[in-house]
Amino acid sequence: MTTTPTLAMPNFEEPFVIEADASGKGIGAVLTQNGHLIAYMSCLLGPKKESWSTYQKEMLAVVIAVQQWRPYLLGRTFHIFTDQQSLRHLLEQQITTSDQHKWVAKTYGV
């Protein structure tokens, strides 16, 4: 980043976009609309969560972002983008772990 981002005011008639990502030590997400930044969040992971798989970290980023921006998203169209291929097809795959069940319920129960 070479400049400080300027946050835009949301237009509740337009769909929102969440882009989430995770790294070895942290997670982050941005909420955008028509290419304009509305909000962003990031946080460091504790020692236990640092050892999680990339899949789990990416899903945690999505869940936290949806929870944090729930007032913006409730009852509105929004899209979630992630570079984790297995999360792109979350609802089409067999949900096997208790974490997956919990996260799907939280994310899609907005």
Domains recognised in the chain with CATH numbers: 16-108 (3.30.420.10)
Question: Exposed (0-12), middle (13-18) or buried (19+): which is 29, by Cβ within 10 Å?
Answer: buried
- pTM, whole model, 2 decimals? 0.75
Under the banding of pLDDT at 50, 70 and 90, the label for residue 6 is confident
**Would you say residue 2 has pLDDT above 90?**
no
Q: Give the torsion sign (CA, 6, 30, 39, 91).
A: positive
User: Are residues 110 and 73 in contact, defined by beta-carbon separation less than 8 angstroms?
Assistant: yes
pLDDT at 72: 93
Give DSSP secondary structure letters for 17-60. Answer: EEEEEE-SSEEEEEEEETTEEEEEEEEEPPHHHHTS-HHHHHHH
* pLDDT (average), residues 44-51: 91
| The token pair that represents 65 in the structure block | 């972002």
Q: Could you give the percent of the chain with pLDDT greater than 90?
A: 47
